[in-house]
Each structure stands twice: as structure tokens, then as C-alpha cells.
Amino acid sequence: MPVLLYNTMNRCVEEFVPLDDQQVGLYSCGPTVYNYAHIGNLRTFLFEDLLKRVLQLSGFSVNHVMNITDVGHLTGDGDDGEDKLEHMAHKTNRTVWEIASYYTDAFFKDYDELNMIRPSTVCKATDHIQQMIALIKRLEEGGHTYISGGNVYFSIDSIPDYGKLARLDLESLRTAVREDVEADDNKRNSKDFVLWFTNSKHGEQAMMWPSPWGRGFPGWHIECSAMSMHYLGESFDIHCGGIDAIPVHHTNEIAQSEAATGKPWVKYWMHGEFLLDETGKMSKSKGEFLTLSLLKSKGFDPMDYRYFCLGGHYRSQLKFNFDSLSTARTARTNVYDRVQNLLKDGAKQVTLASEHALSSQRAFMEHIQNDLNTPRALADLWGVLKDDRLSSDEKYSLVLLFDQVFGLRLSSITAPEKETFPPEAEALLLKRVQAKKEKNWALADSLRSELDAMGYLVKDTPSGSSLEKKM
Ligand code: AMP
Ligand code: ZN
């Protein structure tokens, strides 16, 4: 079955065919480590983890590269404002390096708690300044840059197809140039963007490096182009991020990458839709914001949030509130209970053989391979758990298979501990088993009453008699 994915570049669902037979190059824009990730950010990373899991289950090996933005991301996307890390460092009286290290650790704690598979390579922007400088030099040699007010700019008019991902209307951009001259005298076109800053209006930055254009620091967009090409080559398969990255960040990444190499850069662009809170927009600037730790402090398990996200398709907006999260928790714990009951009945993993089990597997694969349709795939999970035509072994085996995509830690569920009873209760039960064998029903009944008085129920099933503690 082919894997079908929605490609933002072409605005349609396409069959996924990697550039290289079985090895997929996947780049995702990582976090800007100036604060904790909010659960909206985490939704985007969960979508990328889901994509990777679906590709892996479909037989591809995935080389996943994710960057850590620890320099150059300004508070405004259009080259305005202060570097986010510098801003936080000043506010909290810590160094930028301390800020970066602290929030990178916090990010990966969330990442692990949400059971996301770590990328093959995690690369920090500050470790790749030389690759960025080399890329800017290449752009300069190709006539795509100019220096103005001390900064190096990318000229969008130096390429024929700026804005193709976002389908920007270039005519209206041209009109905007005139308006924009007043806004930023340094830019020839309002959409031109900084590749290298030597002149920041926020004075001496803590993070600066020597360069052919003077001491300074890179723009945010050049980071992702330089690092992705360094690790995945000049053309690779998939680039992902949140939907907000389309009009500026990803648009600029494409412009500079393709201008530098003269080749198509990324084959499939994939974007996760936003998680919305009650106010409509999730923002870190509002003071207290929704983090995984906050959900945990309210008694939720990270897997509840993972289940909640699986309930929405990654290309649809998802509204967050605690009622919906509670509903997800109830559903998830029901799944856990059912899996535990299967184990209690002795279920084990087997090779699927019956036509019915195989058709359940096919339906699931078809759904997740159809642009990661997790709401349908979750319905498949419930269908399997409730399906009387499947044996316990088949159900358990399908659950384990499905969880390679869901990542809900269903494989770590264990059978409940066997309850132990006092020796006198066990002795009475044995006596009763013997009495039943001898068809001494009166004795069997009186032993049952005796056990009942001690606080134990006798359960008779076709496979034998057992005790249960009375509630
Ligand atoms: P940042 O750490 O700010 O660079 O953001 C990390 C990722 O989260 C980016 O891919 C953003 O596009 C994404 N993102 C930001 N806000 C939201 C949101 N409310 N819902 C989903 N993703 C988001
Ligand atoms: Zn990026």
C-alpha cells in the first residue's frame, strides 16, 4: 500500500516516493530554547513523531534531523525585535548559554515523557556557524545578497519564484515595497530578509562570531538551510514544521537554499495545524501558559495528552480544554484496562494468520497511510478491542502493531499482579474444590459461606475456581 501525504507545496495529497529508495531524509524545525515548550508546540512535534513512526512501519528507514535554535530567532519574524534568548537572559539575569542549556533539557524531558522517538541527529545552531557563513558566501557569489546598514540581506528579486510555498502574491508584494521603504530603509524589498546581522539595534549581543562581513550573528532562516543540507544533502525528502512557518520562515528557507544550489530543495512540505486554547491563540507572552508540567500537576499523564492529539487530524485545528483532555484520559485508561484484561486472560503476541485479523491490520494501515488519519486509526483500535471474532492473542498482537504508530506505551502494560490470599482461605478453597469433585454440594456451599464470612468471594469458571477479595 502506498503512503499518501499532503504536500503543502502542491496543496494536495500525493503518493510518497523518496528520492532514495528506502532511506528517507526528514528535517523538522526544532524548538527555540528561550522558554518551556507550550502544549501547542508539542502538538507539532507529536505530529512529526507520528509521521516518522508511520514511515517506519511502512518499511522506510528515516534519517530525522532536528535543529535547536539557540541564536538568531528574533521576537518578530520580519527581522525586527530582539533575539529571544538574549531577551530572556537579560530578563532573568542569566547567560544566554545557561538559558539555552536549561530549556533544551526541559524540551527533551517533555519529548521523552511524550514517548517521542528522538531524532537521529539534533543540531544546535551555535555549533554550525561556519556552515551558515559558507552558505551566505555562496549566495553572495551568486549575486543574491546585498549589504545595507551593516547587515547582509537576501534579495528576493534575485530569484524568479519567491513565495511559491505560501503562494504569495508577488504583485501585492511589489506594492508593499513602496510602503515598506519608510518602514525599513535598509531593505530594497519589504520581503528581503537578513542572513547575517552585524548591526543589531539591541547593542552588544552575547553571542557573536567573526565573519567576512564583521562580527555578528546569523538570521534565523539560514540556520535551517545550512544544517539540513549539511546533514541530509542539497536535496532531501520531507521538511516539516508548524503551519505558522509557511509564509516567512519556510518561504525564506526555500528561497536561499534553491538560490544557493540551483536545484529543487525539498520534495514534500508538511505542516501541522495549530492547537488553540480557550482564547483562540496559544502564546508564551501571556504569562502563565499551558505546559506538559502544568497538565501533570493537574493529575494528567503525558499519554493522556498524546491520546488527545491523536484524536484530531494533524491538518485540522484542535481546541484544547481540560474537559476534552479528561475525555481523552477516560478513553485512554479504558484502552489500558482492556489490554490488561487481555493479558490477564494469558494473551500473547502471535503472527497474525486469520483472514479477519489480517483485514483489521490492512484497514489500520490504510488509514494511517492515508495522510496519517489517526482519528480513523483510533476507531480501528477500539474496533479490534471490541471484536468478538478476534482471539485474545490476535487482539493483543494488533494492539502492539498499532502502538508502533500511536506510541501510547501499550507494550509496557503488564498483567495485573496475581492476588495472594491467606493460607487458611487457600486451604478452604482447596477443600471446596475436592468437595465439588466428590459432588458433596452441601459441603461445597458451606465452605463458600465460610469464605464469604472471611471476606472472600469464590468465582467458579470453566477453567477452575478462584478467590476474589470482596469490595
Ligand atoms: P518555537 O519553539 O517557537 O520555534 O516553535 C516550535 C514549533 O511549534 C514550531 O514548528 C511552531 O510552528 C509550532 N507552534 C507554535 N505555536 C503552535 C500552536 N499553537 N499549535 C501548534 N504548533 C505550534
Ligand atoms: Zn526552520
Q: What is the pLDDT of residues 272-308, one digit of tens each?
A: 999 999 888 787 776 679 999 999 999 999 999 999 9
Q: Which of 206, 52, 190 is nearest to 115 (CA)?
A: 52
Same domain for 306 and 247: no
Q: What is the DSSP letter of 418?
A: P
For residue 115, the domain's CATH number is: 3.40.50.620
227: containing domain: 4-142+215-272
| Ligand 1 pocket check for 368: Cβ under 6 Å | no
Same domain for 53 and 10: yes
Residue of the nearest CA to atom 3 in ligand 1?
Answer: 32
pLDDT for position 174: 58
**What angle is formed at CA 421 by the lines to CA 418 and CA 425, rounded to 5 degrees?**
140
Residue 197 CA to ligand 2 centre (angstroms) = 18
Please check whether residue 149 lies inside any domain of the structure.
Answer: no
Same domain for 242 and 308: no
| Ligand 1 pocket check for 43: Cβ under 6 Å | yes
Same domain for 382 and 448: no
CB 230 within 8 A of CB 128: yes
Please check whether residue 171 lies inside any domain of the structure.
Answer: no
Please check whether residue 283 lies inside any domain of the structure.
Answer: no
Residue where a domain stops, chosen among 374, 390, 412: 412
Cell triple for residue 116? Answer: 517521542
At residue 201 the predicted structure's pLDDT band, cuts being 50, 70 and 90, is low
CB 425 within 8 A of CB 441: no
Q: Which of 234, 302, 306 is nearest to 265 (CA)?
A: 234
Cα end-to-end distance, the chain, whole Å: 50
Does the structure show a pLDDT above 90 at 248? Answer: yes
pLDDT for position 246: 97
| Ligand 1 pocket check for 155: Cβ under 6 Å | no
Residue 303 to residue 329: CA distance in whole angstroms: 8
Average pLDDT over residues 195-224: 88
For residue 355, the domain's CATH number is: 1.20.120
Residue 224 to residue 42: CA distance in whole angstroms: 19
**Strands 193-197 vs 217-218: parallel, antiparallel or unpaired:** antiparallel
Please check whether residue 163 lies inside any domain of the structure.
Answer: no
Please check whether residue 156 lies inside any domain of the structure.
Answer: no
Longest dimension (CA), the chain: 102
Query: Among all ligands shown, which has an atom nearest to the Cα of 31?
Result: 1
Q: How many domains does the chain have?
A: 3
Same domain for 462 and 404: no
- For the ranges 57-66, 274-283, 438-447, the lowest mean pLDDT is seen at 274-283
Q: What is the pLDDT of residues 26-39, one digit of tens each?
A: 999 999 999 999 99
- What Cα–Cα distance (Å) separates residue 69 from each residue in 24, 66, 124? 23, 10, 6
Quote the radius of gyration of the chain (alpha carbons, Å): 29
| Ligand 1 pocket check for 312: Cβ under 6 Å | no
What is the phi/psi pair of residue 103, to 5°? -80, -20
